[in-house]
Structure 1
Amino acid sequence: MKMFVKSGGECQDHTSSGESVCTDGPTRPVMEMKESKLCPRFASKVFNDPIHGHMEFHPTLVKIIDTPEFQRLRFIKQQGAAYFVYPGASHNRFEHALGVVHLAGQFLKRLQEEHRPIRNRDILCVQIAALCLDIGRAPFSDGVMMDQQNRNPSAVIFRTLENNLHLNLNEADKTFIEEMITGEGPWNGWPVEKRFLYDILNNRNTAVGVKLFDSVARDCYNTGLEANFDHRRVIQRAKVLPVNGVNQICFSVKVLGNMFDLWHTIVALHSKVYQHRVTKNIKTMQVFHYQDNLLFARHENIMQEIHSHNLLYFDLPEVQGAVQGAVQGAVQVAVPPIHIHQMHFYKMNGDILTVDEVDAKIEALNQRNTVTLQ
């Protein structure tokens, strides 16, 4: 490696140290940078976040962050239609993903202090999975039913990015990251003694993971709801212990009160934000409006294509408007426009049950009566 010089400083060669140093004069160093083994000649980056403060990211993560596929998350609201109810809830999935990556690193470094088998490479792989967890998130993805093959495009996008960016991951790393993204087995990416790494983001046993930690903290902060839960204390009291012969992430009984605070906060978020009647009304109107337009224009499969990685930029306002305009131009019978911004919502006139729904309710009632008689 060589020493680079700025503003007339001296230049020296430190090939033995393996470091590149810039100096602004003969003695005072102004910058020192080490090359990453996984991502050479690429700098780390620090983001200032209102929730977690300064967050530093590995050069490999920076390469993924700087791709168009990840940058599109800047245009997807974390709370979607709740933004119409809570004007402060303008946070996007971009900063949420960064927060999850940061917490994953903090959590694993804490576990690493007492559980030595955790390598720095393991931490980086978990952070890559956290970064790509929502990278395939599509517009109205929580309101539109998709077929099974398009249910999780994030893993497909990760594999494409890995090939394009040359992240130097081995096959075990790739398998592990994809399994963390999809949340589906057979869990062949990592050995049995490290299966607990799959539970860092979304814990399969307790549902308590860093993705939930960041969501609760960020949603409460931006909606103005009071959050009594402190994820830092929970992380500090976590350990890796054998449970029925398998290593799992366990928490001290001292944070039981914090766990109660967590679920109490989640209940409040669901009742006041996620399941707010206006939020659900707007979400329904948005989905119906775009589906109706596209179906009238005889693009029956386009709603599925929107959720594939080929139409990621549908979330951008200008592209969304262009698609809507093009579709409406092909519609012979105009679809009534929606007036969400004027707060003109659908009115509830009543509902009916289909034959299948009636049969399902009768079957459930019969099973309940059978259990009661026994």
Structure 2
Amino acid sequence: MKQFLDIVDPIHNFIRVYEIELKIIDSPIFQRLRRIRQLSGAHLTYPSAQHSRFEHSLGVMHIAGQAANALKEKGLLNPDQIQNIRLAALLHDVGHGPFSHLFEEVLQAKRKISHEEMGKNIILKSEIGDTLSKSGFDKKFITKLAFGDTKYRFVNEIVSGSLSADMMDYLQRDGYFTGAEHAKIDHQRIIQSLDVYKSRLALDRSALYSFESMVLSRYQMFKAVYFHKTVRSAEVMMLESIRLADDQLNLTTLNLDEYVKLTDEFVVSQILSLSTDTDELKRAKQFAEDYQNRKLLKCVYEQLTDKKFTKSQENKLKENIARRSKVSINEIFVDTTTTSSLPLTPSKEKSKSIILVTEGATKSSIKEIPFSKIPVVSSIAGTMNIVRIYTPAQYRKKVEIAAKSILGD
């Protein structure tokens, strides 16, 4: 009997899935990822960006398996470890809520919990954990590995980090489905050049250009796609809709049985079915309708900034713009998008260096190079902060004038 299944994939051609992986993939909890878009509201700007967390998870498992095999050939991993790594990579996004990172903003604000924490609970307390245990796998170890918590740092870095399977898949997949040309990377060259030094993932110096290209691609994708002003407009609207509806619908529940019901369309349909007894519910429903019909907020001000805004500073800015424009504060939205320009480590710290291995005739030399010494990488190092002001179309001119008078042209 055949012990595997080959799944056709536009990024990797074929993704081979083995028996234990197929059991997890076929579970309702994992199948739910088909109904959570990878890029939440980006499809309203890039119509083909309909891909989901489901196929991304398969892709990450595939690349993680390739990376683990490359390390096995160098005597650094054994076959049992490869299967653990593949399972962890498959499950790394299982805790995502609807609209992916957008929903997490509400979850963090109201419950002080991340999708990683929800993912840990799902693996440990659901049928996925039972399936792992029944098949002879340590569900606690795989949970730690999926979320970067094991003592084997280089193994964590295969799943997430600056040389991770996660980034190698999402850049290519997001680039393919949005049509953005910024995400062309040579991930096979990077995979075959991986090594380990002092429990950290290292890279053969000959693949440094491929690494530089990948980091630059990530930076360009944030500017062109993830932080695109119209993409963020749709996300700001859905974020506001979820916030306004949450007390009524309890969308940010920590009850796992309820949480795993939440998908993009489920949440939109729940909000659209709300009664409009209060102004908050009326506005929540209107935002959801406008999101669905692509009647988006207009960006009237946009500026790259060194400043990181606090929530109270955002509110103060809204008040000032409302006062000056004579437009209701409820019609003004301040979006202070921020991210590290470079990928984070598995422990969510800023990446600062890479270990490069140079093969010599008789022995190898190994050196840790700070990103500040790599011109292409250092040129984009830091934090990407963008402040934008959004408002409905009918208030566009008034709010634009007020925003520019307060924030400058």
Normalising by structure 2, we get a TM-score of 0.65
Matched, 1:71 2:17: no
Q: CA deviation at 1:354?
A: 7.9
**Higher relative contact order, structure no. (Cα contacts within 8 Å, ≥ 6 residues apart):** 2
2:189 is equivalent to residue 223 of structure 1: no
**Is the Cα–Cα contact under 8 Å of residues 110 and 236 in structure 1 kept in the other structure?**
yes
Partners of 2:231 and 2:163 lie apart in 1 by 26
Whole-Å separation in 1 of the counterparts to 2:205 and 2:225: 30
Partner of residue 17, structure 2: 57
On the 8 A contact 1:306/1:314 being kept in 2, the answer is: no
The Cα of 1:350 is off from its aligned counterpart by 8.5
Q: Are 1:79 and 1:89, in contact at CA under 8 Å, matched by a contact in 2?
A: yes
The SS at the match of 1:143 is: helix
* Alpha-carbon distance in structure 1 between the residues aligned to 2:244 and 2:292: 19
Counterpart AA for 1:232: Q
Query: When you count helix as a share of all residues, which structure comes out higher?
Result: 2
Q: Work out which of the residue numbers 156, 159, 168 in structure 2 matches 1:201.
A: 159
The Cα offsets for residues 51-88 of structure 1, whole Å up to 9 and x where unpaired, read as 00111111100000000000011111111111111112
Q: Distance in 1 between matches of 2:25 and 2:196?
A: 30
Q: Which residue matches 2:282?
A: 335
Aligned to 2:82: 123
Alignment of 1:294-313 (within 5 A): 294-295=246-247, 297=248, 302-305=250-253, 308=256, 310-313=258-261
SS at match of 1:144: helix
Q: Which residue of 2 aligns with 1:135?
A: 94
Alignment of 1:143-162 (within 5 A): 143-146=105-108, 147-149=111-113, 151=115, 152-159=117-124, 160-162=126-128
Q: Please state how far the C-alpha of 1:306 moved relative to its aligned partner.
A: 6.8
Post-superposition offset of 1:341: 4.5
2:312, 2:278 → 1: CA distance?
Answer: 34
Amino acid at match of 1:311: Y
Q: Which residue of 1 is the match for residue 342 of structure 2?
A: none
Runs of 5+ consecutive residues of structure 2 not aligned to the other structure: 303-308, 315-409
Q: 1:45 to 1:331 in 2, by over 3 A?
A: farther
Give the letter aligned to residue 320 of structure 1: V
* % identical equivalent positions: 24
> What secondary structure, in the 3-state scheme, does the structure 2 residue paired with 1:239 have?
strand
C-alpha separation in 2, matches of 1:355 and 1:78: 27
Comparing 208-217 and 285-294, the one that deviates more: 285-294
State the 1:162 CA deviation: 4.2
TM-superposed deviation, 1:268: 1.4
Residues 82, 166 of structure 1: alpha-carbon distance in 2 compared, 3 angstrom cutoff: closer
Question: Once the 2 structures are TM-superposed, how far is the Cα of residue 156 of structure 1 from its aligned partner?
Answer: 1.2
Q: Which among 67, 73, 95 is matched to residue 107 of structure 1? A: 67
Change (3 A) 1:350 1:176: same
- Structure (1 or 2) with the larger CA radius of gyration: 1
Match in the other structure for 1:179 = 144
User: What is the TM-score normalised by the length of structure 1?
Assistant: 0.71
Hey, which of these two has a bigger chunk of strand by percent? 2
Query: For residues 75 and 349 of structure 1, do their structure 2 counterparts lie closer, same or farther at Cα, with a shift above 3 Å needed?
Result: same
Cα-Cα RMSD: 2.7
Q: Which amino acid aligns with 1:274?
A: Y
Question: C-alpha distance in 1, partners of 2:291/2:132?
Answer: 44
1:139-159 Cα offsets, whole Å, 9 max, x none, are: 132432423456521111112
Q: Is the 8 A contact 2:147 2:156 kept in 1?
A: no
Find the partner of 2:167 among 212, 219, 227.
212
Number of positions where the alignment pairs a residue of Structure 1 with one of Structure 2: 295
Q: In structure 2, give the amino acid aligned to 1:200.
A: I
Q: 1:40 maps to which residue? A: none
Structure 1's unaligned 5+ residue stretches are 1-31, 34-42, 189-193, 359-374
Contact 1:143/1:284 (8 A) holds in 2: no
Partner of 1:314: 262
Matched-pair contact (CA < 8 Å) for 2:229–2:299: no
* Aligned residue in 2 for 1:252: 204
User: How far apart, in 2, do the equivalents of 1:150 and 1:230 lie?
Assistant: 31
**C-alpha separation in 2, matches of 1:355 and 1:248:** 37
Distance 1:330 1:164, change over 3 A: farther
The alpha carbon displacement at 1:133 in A equals 0.9
Against the structure 1 CA distance between its residues 212 and 303, is the aligned structure 2 distance closer, same or farther, given a 3 Å change threshold? same
Name the residue aligned to 1:323: 270
Match among 193, 210, 217 for residue 265 of structure 1: 217
1:38-61 CA-to-partner distances (Å, cap 9, x unmatched) read: xxxxx4221011100111111100
Q: In structure 1, which of residues 292, 305, 317 is the aligned counterpart of residue 244 of structure 2?
A: 292
**Contact 1:101/1:127 (<8 A) preserved:** yes
Superimposed CA distance per residue, residues 157-198 of structure 1 (whole angstroms, 9 cap, x where no aligned partner): 112234432544668x333212123334xx35xxxxx54212
Q: Distance in 2 between matches of 1:279 and 1:267?
A: 16
From the superposition, tell whether residues 88 and 330 of structure 1 become closer, same or farther in structure 2 (CA, over 3 Å).
Answer: closer
**Does 2:112 correspond to 1:164?**
no
**Contact (CA 8 Å) 1:202, 1:210: kept in 2 or not?**
yes
SS at match of 1:200: helix
Contact 2:45 2:231 in 1 (8 A): yes
What is the letter of the counterpart of residue 251 of structure 1? Answer: L
